[in-house]
Amino acid sequence: MNSNIVTLQECWAVDNESYNIPDFEEISRNRLMGRPQAFGTINFCKLTVEPRITDRIEIENGNSNNHVEISGFKLDNRLTIINIYNNPSSSLDLLKETLLK
């Protein structure tokens, strides 16, 4: 794969689960507290890019039936990359509210 960044959505990941992608480091994820569910986001960067990460983003808003998850990171204090999971039951207002956090 010739990519420096990999983002996953609806990955069913839990805290104690590790995705071992060769040459990549996990940068941020939403914490699902040990319960695999049909949501979640995880972000990875190549090991050569990881030292340039200046901030990590992990936001969850709402409840299990109506929620938005955002994870991401800032690269070189200039480029912000976000990965959004918007539950199909979520309102547009909740998405907008979460994006403004």
Q: Calculate the average pLDDT of the chain.
A: 85
Q: Where are the domains of the chain?
A: 5-99
Cα-based angle 52, 98, 6 (whole degrees, multiple of 5): 35
Alpha helices in 7-75 (DSSP H): none
The tokens of 60 are what? 């969850």
Query: Model confidence over 17-51: pLDDT tens digits?
Result: 778 889 999 998 876 655 666 677 889 999 999 88
pTM for this entry:
0.80
Q: Does the structure show a pLDDT above 90 at 53?
A: yes
Residue 99 has pLDDT above 80, yes or no: yes
Alpha helices (H) along the chain: 92-99
The answer to whether 59 and 50 are in contact (CB under 8 A) is no
Tokens of 22: 């060769």
